[in-house]
Structure 1
Amino acid sequence: MKRTFTRNAAVTAAVLTLSLSLAACGDDDDSNDNANDSSNDSSMTSDDPMTDTESPSMTGAEPFGEGCKLIPADGAGSFTGMASEPVATAASANPLLKTLVSAVQTAGLVDTLNGAEALTVFAPTDDAFAKIDKKTLDGVLADKETLTTILTHHVVAGKLSPDMVAGEHETLAGDTINVSGSGEMFTVGKEKASVLCGNIQTANATVYVVDTVLMP
């Protein structure tokens, strides 16, 4: 009787030991599964911020140049505001380009510029026009044909990014214009006009603001 009891106790102890071992294994498996799931979640989470971080640098659409600090930080004349409007409308909100906008209106080129699919515009500032003596400027503004030729000499078909803008390009006036330089340093035309703020995006054009009026 005593021997039977001892044998039963031993069997019971073995069963309990086996059950505990299996439970422990199950806990380990669950822990491993949870760890793997966490690892996978962590990997997926870390990928997303990396993509977000890389996106702006891949666009290459940032304006550049010392003159860019003169562009309003917000409103219709800001980089964001100009990006949503066609080029003539966008320029009308920019405080640096009032004389240019007035000249474009006088020449009747607003619809032509706004309606084009893609352009690059070398846009002289008000200070650039101020370099021309008043009598000469008034004479040009009064001669629509001459004014149109001068203004379209500042416009090239297609949106030229900074890595494409250097070289010789045909203008809407039917002649050519040469851009020299690289990176963020460019000069335009025989006048060697400096780009003050380049790669400004509008809805249908890329704009390079220059410090000198370009002559055909």
Structure 2
Amino acid sequence: MKKSLLASALAALTLAAVPAAQASTTSSFLLSPAPAPTDMPSPTDMTSPTDMPTSTDMASPGASASPVGPGCASLPTSGPGSAASMATEPVGTALAANPELSTLTKAVDAAGLTETLNSAKDVTVFAPTNAAFDKLPKETLDKLMGDKEQLTKVLQNHVVEGRKAPADLTTAPLTTLGGGSLTVTGSGEDLTVGEAKVLCGNLQTSNATVYLIDSVLVPGAESSATPSESAS
């Protein structure tokens, strides 16, 4: 009888020990820290601040500028002469691609200023259209084209330092590279340089801001060119 009771007691202790052991194992698992993932990127694998785009990688303010003026609608919408195409080229090359500026291009070539314009840094160019040159008598224009010194002076009177947005033009008289002075009046879509109307302006090239104008500007004066002034 005693042996039977002892056997029953030992069996009961054995059965009680099994759940306790399992509970101990479960508790140990829950309390143990989870192993760190091995596939997480290390700090050196993550993008550092130096990988972020810098200000020089972003488009310049000039690139997003909108052309202004009543003649902007006549610009090609794509290809050579368009605003988008001009923005990728230096100013001398950009002007040459516009068929409305072929006379100006010939004048720039005759004066040997194409590379000078292309290598200039941040300038504003007032570009007379073919119609602007057509206001001059043919003999006057021919004489000007044949006089490199005078032609250079005339062309330099159409260039000022700095990339001028429309709002910058009317703050003070502008000093040209030729030493002349230009006053711009008006605002918005209605701008006048001396007596020359801006047809389409705030056009961006890779190194300049361009304003297409309807008259040739005279060195040392704030008026459009007349036959007598151009021939002198």
| Equivalent pair of 1:162/1:184 in contact (CA under 8 Å) | no
Specify which structure has the higher proportion of helix: 1
Number of residue equivalences: 159
| Equivalent pair of 1:169/1:176 in contact (CA under 8 Å) | yes
**Residue of structure 2 in register with 1:205 after alignment:** 208
Q: Which ranges of 4 or more aligned residues in structure 1 deviate by more than 4 Å?
A: none
1:131-174 deviations in Å (ceiling 9; x for gaps): 00000000000000000000000000100001101130110101
TM, length-normalised to structure 2: 0.66
Higher Rg of the two aligned structures: 2
**Residue of structure 2 in register with 1:31 after alignment:** none
Task: Give the partner amino acid of 1:115.
Answer: S
What are the residue-to-residue correspondences of 1:39-118 with 2, within 5 Å? Answer: 61-118=65-122
SS of corresponding position for 1:97: helix
1:99-121 deviations in Å (ceiling 9; x for gaps): 00110000000111110111100
Once the two structures are aligned, what percentage of the paired residues are identical? 53
**Residue of structure 2 in register with 1:194 after alignment:** 197
Task: Give the partner amino acid of 1:168.
Answer: P
Structure 1 Cα separation of the partners of residues 201 and 125 of structure 2: 10
Q: 1:59 to 1:79 in 2, by over 3 A?
A: closer
**Residue of structure 2 in register with 1:124 after alignment:** 128
Q: 1:196 to 1:153 in 2, by over 3 A?
A: same
Match of 2:186 among 181, 186, 193: 181
Task: Give the partner amino acid of 1:95.
Answer: P
Structure 2 Cα separation of the partners of residues 64 and 95 of structure 1: 19
Structure 1 Cα separation of the partners of residues 140 and 164 of structure 2: 31
Instruction: Identify unmatched segments of 5+ residues in structure 1.
Output: 1-57
What are the residue-to-residue correspondences of 1:123-202 with 2, within 5 Å? Answer: 123-166=127-170, 167-189=172-194, 192-202=195-205
Cα offset, 1:70, TM superposition: 1.5
Cα offset, 1:184, TM superposition: 2.1
Structure 1 Cα separation of the partners of residues 67 and 84 of structure 2: 11
Structure 1 Cα separation of the partners of residues 80 and 128 of structure 2: 19
Cα offset, 1:76, TM superposition: 2.1
Cα offset, 1:65, TM superposition: 1.4
SS of corresponding position for 1:96: helix
Instruction: Identify unmatched segments of 5+ residues in structure 2.
Output: 1-61, 220-232
Task: Give the partner amino acid of 1:181.
Answer: G
Cα offset, 1:60, TM superposition: 6.4
1:71-120 deviations in Å (ceiling 9; x for gaps): 11111211000000000100011121110011000000011111011110
Q: 1:110 to 1:77 in 2, by over 3 A?
A: same
| Equivalent pair of 2:69/2:188 in contact (CA under 8 Å) | no
